[in-house]
């Protein structure tokens, strides 16, 4: 008789993984709440009474589904070490929706004197997220095929770019802004999760880091107990506002142009994250995950969310933390309850950012390391190439943010601005081209270099040709969609032609040169 599998819903080690995923989602929720409140002047009843409860519903639905998938996989493979896929708000997508969808609508309506600019901007944001959910679900049609034909170096390399830039570097900066709290928490995380040091009372290292950081925070003024934001906000369907937003959205073609490429990015990110989980030992159906991501986003919009949710980056890190399925369910429940009871604001004021940031740094470096370890050793250079566009992406994002603070009237899209920066050694036009559509660019260049290393010129031509087409229609290397017969497009066409010639001529490797060996001493 087959022994019954012991795979508990909650496992002691789930607690450390819980704090990591919770910190990531909490950081995004706090950021979007602040921007919606203080930049777009949305009233509290919209931000805390509609957007956050809607996100809470979306996260609870999505994370519960991925707990179900994990338990199904555990039963199927008779393993009790299956880690559920993490799920939440994608940081790059969140910023696009804030400043590429909600922002332009708000600023345009405000300039025309519309007193309801902030409400209407929220409605358009909901509609855009609903449309994004549909696009995400449609992505499931080509997702499995795309996963099959794309080398891991491209998929995992572009994820590593997001991880090292957004998940590791940005939180590390917060640690250095508050080193009294951050350094202690970071060393506890690295000692417990990297070096394997045993924590007091066998507590999870992530929890110890947050507790120590919070205690220090009270002494340095970074922590406080404040219940002023605690209030009950029941999730209420907002179908009327969603329909109004859909009608408004079609009056803003720029919004539609922003939604399509970022949602293509989103379903590719889901595909990459599922591939990352498979590389770590847990094989999930990519089509099912893409459908769920779209459905979870759409459910959230029915209750007021204006932001897409997706399979999160970081499965290998949560697996290293020995999370199973309880960590994901715990985050879904806590975020949902925190959103409807207003505890998100309380926790944000209680726990210093520098105390939770080390968990994000850990997640970022584990994802980056996995990209190199799970790809063939000969493709290490391809992984490195796939990371580069994301460095340009954060550079451009931060420069634009700095410029908007110093001079809100300055147009960063002008040649005059580009020339001024070039005088300071900043290749603004080139960096901008790399930044737009960074995840797709990283994936394509990682794939091109990997196939070039393998001398598969037919596939290099196919990926290069795809890059040319996506450049032409503005999905990558451009801030807007449309026909772009740019120099970058011409470069891709030329490169594709060279690969086709090499394929037809059956170009071979020079035996005196060989290939780089990353497996030697």
Closest listed residue to residue 137, CA positions, set 307, 295, 300 = 295
Co-location of 194 and 308 in the same domain: yes
Residue 405 has pLDDT above 90, yes or no: no
| Same-domain status, 241 and 263 | yes
Alpha carbon separation from 476 to 195, 228, 376 (Å, rounded): 40, 44, 27
For residue 213, pLDDT over 80 is answered with: yes
Dist CA 224 CA 218 (whole Å): 7
Q: Is residue 172 part of a domain?
A: yes
Is the pTM higher than 0.85?
A: no
pLDDT of residue 254: 64
Strand partners of residue 88: 310
> Of 58-67, 203-212, 262-271, 344-353, which has the strongest mean pLDDT?
58-67
Residues 294 and 213 in one domain: yes
pLDDT by residue (tens digit) across 471-486?
A: 999 889 988 778 999 9
Local confidence band at 3 (pLDDT 50, 70, 90 cut-offs): low
Contact residues for 123 (Cβ-Cβ < 8 A; gap 6+): 241, 242, 244, 245, 248
Taking alpha carbons only, the member of 180, 193, 281 closest to residue 223 is: 180
Tokens of 144: 């499995």
What pLDDT score does 454 carry? 94
Pairs from 252-256 (Cβ < 8 Å, separation ≥ 24): 252/104, 252/105, 252/108, 252/124, 254/104, 254/480, 255/100, 255/101, 255/104, 255/105, 255/124, 255/128, 256/131
Asked if the structure places residue 434 within a domain, the reply is yes
For 99, the token pair is 């400043």
Q: What is the mean pLDDT of the chain?
A: 87
For residue 177, tell me if it sits in a domain: yes
Strand segments (E) across 286-439: 310-311
User: Which of 98-107, 180-189, 408-417 is predicted least confidently?
Assistant: 408-417
Residue 39 lies in a domain: yes
What span, in angstroms and rounded, lies between the C-alpha atoms of 330 and 19?
10
From 147, 158, 151, 159, select the one nearest 452 (Cα to Cα). 151
**For the chain, first and last CA: distance in Å?**
49
Per-residue pLDDT at 467 exceeds 90 = yes
Within this chain, do residues 98 and 204 fall inside the same structural domain, yes or no? yes
**407 within domain boundaries:** no
Q: What is the per-residue pLDDT across 497-508, written as a single tens digit (0 to 9) for each?
A: 999 999 999 998
pLDDT at 498: 98
**Same domain, yes or no: 70 and 90:** yes
Tell me, yes or no, whether 179 and 191 share the same domain: yes
285 lies in the same domain as 389: no
Q: Is residue 186 part of a domain?
A: yes
Q: How far apart are CA 438 and CA 79, in angstroms?
A: 36
Higher pLDDT: 59 or 17? It is: 59
- Find the domain containing 182 and state its range: 14-374
The tens digit of pLDDT for each residue in 305-334 reads: 999 999 987 798 889 888 999 999 999 999
Domain membership flag for residue 212:
yes
Same domain? For 191 and 274 the reply is yes
- pLDDT for 521 equals 41
Query: Which residue(s) pair with 310 in the sheet?
Result: 88
Long-range contacts of the stretch 453-459 (C-beta < 8 A, 24+): 453/378, 453/379, 453/381, 453/382, 453/515, 454/378, 455/507, 455/508, 455/509, 457/499, 457/500, 457/502, 457/503, 457/507, 458/503, 459/149
Q: Residues 6-22: what's their mean pLDDT?
A: 86
For residue 1, the model assigns a pLDDT of 39
Structural contact between residues 351 and 213, judged by C-beta atoms closer than 8 angstroms: yes
For residue 229, pLDDT beyond 80:
no
Whether residues 430 and 339 share a domain: the answer is no
Residue 222 domain flag: yes
Torsion 443-445-449-455 (CA) sign: positive
Determine which of 242-256, 364-378, 430-444 has the lowest per-residue pLDDT on average: 242-256
Q: Does the structure show a pLDDT above 80 at 140?
A: yes
Burial class of 239 by CB neighbour count within 10 A (0 to 12, 13 to 18, 19+): exposed
Overall domain count for the chain:
2
Two tokens at 170? 């940005």
> 85 and 100 share a domain?
yes
pLDDT of residue 408: 55
Residues 337 and 391 in one domain: no
Q: Do 465 and 349 share a structural domain?
A: no
Strand 87-88, strand 310-311: pairing: antiparallel
pLDDT of residue 495: 98
- The count of residues in the chain is 521
Interval 421-433: pLDDT, tens: 777 788 888 999 9
**DSSP 3-state of 482:** coil
């Amino acid at each position: 008789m087959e022994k019954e599998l012991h795979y508990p819903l909650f496992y002691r080690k789930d607690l450390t993984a819980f704090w990591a995923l919770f910190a990531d989602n909490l950081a995004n929720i706090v950021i979007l709440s602040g921007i919606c409140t203080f930049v777009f002047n949305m009233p509290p009843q919209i931000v805390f009474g509609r957007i956050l409860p809607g996100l809470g519903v979306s996260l609870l639905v999505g994370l519960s589904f991925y707990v179900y998938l994990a338990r199904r996989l555990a039963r199927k493979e008779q393993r009790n070490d299956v880690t559920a896929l993490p799920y939440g708000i994608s940081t790059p997508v969140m910023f696009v929706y804030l400043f590429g969808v909600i922002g332009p609508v708000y600023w345009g309506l405000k300039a025309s004197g519309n007193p309801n600019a902030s409400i209407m901007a929220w409605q358009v944001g909901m509609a855009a997220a609903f449309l994004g959910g549909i696009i995400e679900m449609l992505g499931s049609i080509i997702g499995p095929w795309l996963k099959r034909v794309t080398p891991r170096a491209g998929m995992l390399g572009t994820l590593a770019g997001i991880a090292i830039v957004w998940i590791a570097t940005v939180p590390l900066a917060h640690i250095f802004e508050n080193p009294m709290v951050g350094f202690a928490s970071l060393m506890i995380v690295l000692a417990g999760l990297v070096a394997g040091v045993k924590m007091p009372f066998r507590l999870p290292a992530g929890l110890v880091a947050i507790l120590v950081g919070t205690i220090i925070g009270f002494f340095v003024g970074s922590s406080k107990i404040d219940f002023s934001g605690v209030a009950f906000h029941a999730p209420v369907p907002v179908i009327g506002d969603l329909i109004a937003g859909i009608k408004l959205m079609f009056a803003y073609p720029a919004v539609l142009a922003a939604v399509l490429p970022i949602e293509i990015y989103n379903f590719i990110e889901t595909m990459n994250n599922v591939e990352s989980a498979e590389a770590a030992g847990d094989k999930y159906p990519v089509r099912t995950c893409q459908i769920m991501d779209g459905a979870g986003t759409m459910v959230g919009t029915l209750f007021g969310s204006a932001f897409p949710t997706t399979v999160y980056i970081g499965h290998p890190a949560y697996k290293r933390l020995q999370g199973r399925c309880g960590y994901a369910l715990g985050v879904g429940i806590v975020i949902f309850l925190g959103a409807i009871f207003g505890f998100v604001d309380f926790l944000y004021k209680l726990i210093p950012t520098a105390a939770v940031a080390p968990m994000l740094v850990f997640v970022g470096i584990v994802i980056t390391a996995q990209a190199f370890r799970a790809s063939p050793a000969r493709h290490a250079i391809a992984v490195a190439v796939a990371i580069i566009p994301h460095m340009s992406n954060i550079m451009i994002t931060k420069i634009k943010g700095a410029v908007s603070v110093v001079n809100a009237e300055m147009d960063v899209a002008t040649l005059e601005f580009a020339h001024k920066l070039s005088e300071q050694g900043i290749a603004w036009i080139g960096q901008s081209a790399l930044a737009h559509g960074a995840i797709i660019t990283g994936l394509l260049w990682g794939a091109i270099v990997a196939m070039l290393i393998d001398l598969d010129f037919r596939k290099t031509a196919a990926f290069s040709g795809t890059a040319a087409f996506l450049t032409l229609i503005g999905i990558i290397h451009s801030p807007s969609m449309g026909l772009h017969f740019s120099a970058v497009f011409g470069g891709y066409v030329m490169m594709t032609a060279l690969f086709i010639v090499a394929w037809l001529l059956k170009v071979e490797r020079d035996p005196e040169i060989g290939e780089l060996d990353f497996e030697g001493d």
